[in-house]
Chain A
Amino acid sequence: DIQLTQSPSFLSASVGDRVTITCRASQGINSYLAWFQQIPGEAPKLLIFGPSILQSGVPSRFRGSGSGTEFTLTISSLQPEDFGVYYCQQLMTYPRTFGQGTKVEIK
């Protein structure tokens, strides 16, 4: 199975800050990656896939990049509603696997 490792596991940032989360794959997955946001008590929400295609309705402050084994999710200007846990997911092979998550706290 492909392992995905996210860093950091936790980050605390202020409104307006630029935030970057990294996802590293245990083997090359080309561009087959997606990012989700999960607010506590809610279902995960797809943000970005491919790894830079913004899902419909997702604000443009979210940006994804990378290929191969290293990917990043960037929030250009953190907003209060961006708190939660962010997960990456590989779309290359089965079983589909997820990173362990990055918890984002708003200072």
Chain B
Amino acid sequence: QVHLEESGGGLVQPGGTLRLSCEASGFTFSDFYMTWIRQAPGKGLEYIAYISSSSGHDTNYADSLKGRFTISRDNAKNSLYLQMNSLRDEDTAVYYCARYHYTSGYWIFDFWGQGTLVTVSS
């Protein structure tokens, strides 16, 4: 079955950097688009970015995060990444990776990992 596991979260100072990973199993990773979503403590869900399947040449970012966050993938390692630079207090959140799947005419976030917590604080 589909399994996604995020890692790399932790405590980081404002202005710092962090790289999150998401290891996938149970499906052919290279065939699927992937996405990152975050959730600040006690708040709702916020889309971060997606990356296309295979080569990963097609990416899309939330405007508010463009330039600071970079999504990438390594199909040989069945892994998705999120490089986060110039971190701010408001980036504190649980970060989820999700499979981004096209079915029945819709692009859906059909399977999610359990998330990894990023805390930005001095």
List residues of A whose CB falls within 8 A of some B CB: 32, 34, 36, 42-46, 49-50, 53, 55, 87, 89, 91, 94-101
Contact = CB atoms under 8 A, between A and B. Distances in A.
Interface stretch (B7-15, B76-84, B108-116): B108-116
A87 B109 contact: no
Given A94-B60, A96-B47, A97-B47, A46 B110 contact: yes
Interface stretch (B24-32, B85-93, B99-107): B99-107
Contacts of A87: 44-45
A91 B60 CA distance: 14
A25 B36 CA distance: 23
B33 interface: no
Contacts of A55: 108, 110
A23 to B, nearest CB: 13
Contacts of B45: 36, 44, 87, 89, 98
A86 B63 CA distance: 25
Given A43-B96, A43-B114, A44-B45, A95 B63 contact: yes
A44 B106 contact: no
Please name the 10 residue pairs, one residue from A and one from B, whose CB atoms are nearest each other, closest first: A43-B112, A96-B47, A98-B45, A95-B62, A95-B47, A49-B108, A100-B44, A101-B44, A49-B106, A50-B106
23 contacts: A34-B106, A34-B108, A43-B96, A43-B112, A43-B113, A44-B45, A44-B96, A44-B112, A46-B108, A49-B106, A50-B104, A55-B108, A87-B45, A89-B45, A91-B108, A94-B47, A95-B47, A96-B109, A97-B47, A98-B44, A98-B46, A100-B44, A101-B44
Interface of B: 44-47, 60, 62-63, 96, 104-115
A50 B110 CA distance: 13
B112 A32 contact: no
A99 B109 contact: no
A34 B46 CA distance: 15
B33 to A, nearest CB: 12
B21 to A, nearest CB: 16
